[in-house]
Structure 1
Amino acid sequence: MSQALLNGIIKDTIIVAVKLSAPILIVILIVGLIISILQATTQVQEQTLTFIPKLIASAIVGILLSSWMLQTLMSFTTRIFDLITKVTS
C-alpha cells in the first residue's frame, strides 16, 4: 500500500465526515444563534432554553437527511472495501 493511496483514503474519510456532519452542525449553530439573540433581547439567561430547540432541530435535520447520509456512507464504505480487495489481491 503506497503513501499516496493512504493519503487519498484519509482525505476521502475527512471529506465524508465533514459532509455528513455539516448539515446538522450548521442548523444547530443557526438555532443557537437565534435563541441567543432572543435571550439577549428578553434578558432571560436560562441555559436549558437552548438545549431542547437544538435537540429538536438536529433530530429533524437528521430525519430529513438520513437517506442522503446513509447513501453517502454506503458509497464510501463500498469504495473502501473495493480498495481492500484490490490491495490484498
Structure 2
Amino acid sequence: MTDVTVIHIGMTALVLAAKLCAPLLLTALAVGFGISLFQSVTQLQEQTIAFVPKAVAVGLAILMCGKWMLHEATSFTTALYDQIPSFLSSGG
C-alpha cells in the first residue's frame, strides 16, 4: 500500500463524513436561524427556546435521510473491504 493510496482513502473518508453530516448540520442551521429570527422579532431572548425545535428537526432529518446515510456508509465500507486484496498484493 503506497502513501498515495492511504491519502486517497483518508480523503474519501473525509468527504463521506462531510456528506453524511451535511443534512443534519444544515437542518440545525436553518432551524436555528429561524428561531433566532423569531426571537429577535419578538424580543424573546431565552436561550432554551431553540433546543427543542432543533432536536425535533434533526430527528426528522435523521428519519428522512437515515436510509441514504446508512447506504452511503455501507457502500464505502464494502468498497474498502473489497479493495483489501489489491492493497496487500501491491506490497510495500
Deviation at 1:85, TM superposition (A): 2.9
Q: Report the Cα distance in structure 2 between the residues aligned to 1:17 and 1:2, rounded to whole angstroms.
A: 23
Q: Which has the higher contact order (CA 8 A, sep 6+)?
A: 2
Q: What is the count of residue pairs matched by the alignment?
A: 89
Structure-to-structure mapping, 1:49-60, within 5 angstroms = 49-60=49-60
Q: Residue 33 of structure 1 aligns with which residue?
A: 33
Residue segments in structure 2 that go unaligned for 5+ positions in a row: none
After TM superposition, the structure 1 stretch with the greater mean CA deviation from structure 2, 76-85 or 1-10, is 76-85
Deviation at 1:87, TM superposition (A): 2.0
Q: Does 1:43 align with 2:26?
A: no
Q: Report the Cα distance in structure 2 between the residues aligned to 1:9 and 1:88, rounded to whole angstroms.
A: 15
Cα RMSD of the aligned pairs, angstroms, is 0.9
Deviation at 1:86, TM superposition (A): 2.3
Q: Report the Cα distance in structure 1 between the residues aligned to 2:69 and 2:53, rounded to whole angstroms.
A: 22
- Percent sequence identity is 38
Structure-to-structure mapping, 1:1-89, within 5 angstroms = 1-89=1-89
Q: Deviations over 1:18-68 (max 9, x none)?
A: 000001100100100010010011111111100000000000000011110
